Amino acid sequence: MGDVKAYYRERRKVYGIRNHVLILPTTLCVNRVAERIKEEFKDEQWGESGENRVILVRHNSGCCHVGFDKDIAFKVLMGIASHPNVHGVLLVSLGCGQFCKKPLTPGEDKRINLEAFKLYDRLVKKGVKVYWVNVQEKVLPREYSDSLEEAISLGTKFVRKLAEEAMSSKRVEAKLNRFVIGVGNGASDPTSGIFANPALGHLVDHLVKSGSSIVFSQTTEVLGAEDYLFAKSANEKVTRKLKRLLEVASAFKEALQEYTEESDPTPGNIASGISTLAEKSLGSVLKAGHDAGTRLSDVLPYASKVPRGGGLYFMDTPGEDILSITGMVAGGAHVVIFTTGLGTPVGSPVSPVIKVTANRETYEKLRSLIDVYLPIEEIFYRGKSLREITLEYLHPLLLDIMSGEKLACNEKLGFADFDIRGYWIRA
């Protein structure tokens, strides 16, 4: 028996917990064109809980990138387009952007575009079902007098074909060792560090033992708690990579503070009772697990693919919620478990983001946003351990959401955040 039910991608040899059809602009200039195509499918969804749909990833990238910034943008777009939760992709291009290059045609000299980033060709090589339309290029001159309307019409036909294929797919049983699970935190308060993050650490221990790959991130939010992670490193090589990364992050933070009067935590963190970034970090790192057997397997650059088959991985990302989630999902996270003390609506286009809080007041105020309240009062009234509470309340919901039996709150609300920015550290 499998742990969850998922969609198997035969050509890619991966499992997905969602079966979305993705519309992806290759440049910000065609966001509205992509929206026109998406509007045709706004009320369509499929799956046991209506968990699958046609999704659009809007972004402000795809033009005039330079160097490392270009590498990051391309890596993120590739990661989202080839994500296991995506059945197929429609690329919408303008024609003159960096990532707008048309598919290779038979006989084309590949040397012409050795330096060009070509999303379509890369996706085909990965076994992704992908179609492509270009606003600046006419393909059917007899049928349309305007290439914009032609691109919208063709794009709609391609998405319809992908959606019909996706609707016929069935879930099969799969073991947890085939999945990548992201963990994060944001809009934190003292209950995050004292209860919610340590609770998530117990779940991470359990998932790692089950063979899942776990990825956590937010580089600036481990500064001040480095020793905890150094002690979890699987070997000296991982320790060196982590030290080098955190040294650069610390130097960046110190340089930045010369030009701002802002305190380390956010104003909301401070108002809730968190006084310093180090104090926040000491609670944040507890998401990485408690057991001696939960070792840090590697340190990954932003949006890099997370190895499947088990282990704990740290990804270099900014501390901002949306950027950290985008990086982990682009790296292949099927689902993200996200603790919050004050509450936040952030989500992801292709992966469910499960919100967990240990603050009852936050849960009562923001029930539409919060998936799980951890009843920490049971520690004091019933003598339960935090681990017992986590495995009773959070673990079953995780499996249900992964299997499509339930939707995460962000999915119900249609909250799908996404952002690309060039990042300042190379892990």
| Spans of the chain, pLDDT less than 50 | 111-116, 263, 424-425, 427
What is the torsion angle, in degrees rounded to the nearest 10, for the CA atoms of residue 386, residue 177, residue 344 and residue 356? -20
CA triple 179-184-14, angle to 5 deg: 15
Residue 12 tokens read as 């890619």
Residue 74 tokens read as 């391309």
- What is the predicted pLDDT for the residue at 427? 47
What is the DSSP secondary-structure string of 121-140? HHHHHTT-EEEEEETT--S-
- How many beta carbons lie within 10 A of that of residue 95, not counting itself? 17
Is there a contact between 353 and 187 (Cβ–Cβ < 8 Å)? no
| Paired residues of 27 in beta bridges | none
pLDDT, tens digit, for every residue of 399-418?
Answer: 999 999 999 999 999 999 99
What is the spatial order of strands in the sheet that 172-174 belongs to?
Answer: 14-16, 4-9, 172-174
Output 302-306 pairs: Cβ under 8 A, ≥24 positions apart: 302/72, 302/75, 302/327, 302/423, 302/427, 303/72, 303/75, 303/76, 303/79, 303/327, 303/330, 303/331, 304/75, 304/331, 305/79, 305/331, 305/332, 306/180, 306/213, 306/215, 306/331, 306/332, 306/333
| Paired residues of 52 in beta bridges | 46
| Paired residues of 233 in beta bridges | 296
| Paired residues of 215 in beta bridges | 182, 313
Is there a contact between 13 and 84 (Cβ–Cβ < 8 Å)? no
pLDDT, tens digit, for every residue of 194-208?
Answer: 999 999 999 999 999
Is there a contact between 324 and 302 (Cβ–Cβ < 8 Å)? no
pTM: 0.94
- What is the predicted pLDDT for the residue at 184? 97
| Burial class (CB within 10 angstroms; exposed 0-12, middle 13-18, buried 19+) of 136 | middle
- What is the predicted pLDDT for the residue at 251? 77
Of 377, 369, 345, 374, give the one whose Cα is nearest residue 358.
374
- What is the predicted pLDDT for the residue at 170? 97
DSSP 8-state class, residue 81? H
Phi, psi for residue 300 in degrees, rounded to 5: -110, 145
b/e map of 191-222 (b: 16 or more CB within 10 Å)? bbbbbbbbbbbbbbbbbbeebbbbbbbbbbbb
Handedness of CA 288, 289, 292, 295 (dihedral sign): negative
Q: How far apart are CA 60 and CA 26, in angstroms?
A: 10
- What is the predicted pLDDT for the residue at 115? 40
- What is the predicted pLDDT for the residue at 158? 97
pLDDT, tens digit, for every residue of 58-100?
Answer: 999 999 888 888 899 999 999 999 999 999 999 999 998 888 8
Q: What's the mean per-residue pLDDT of the chain?
A: 90
Looking up tokens 């509450």 gives 343
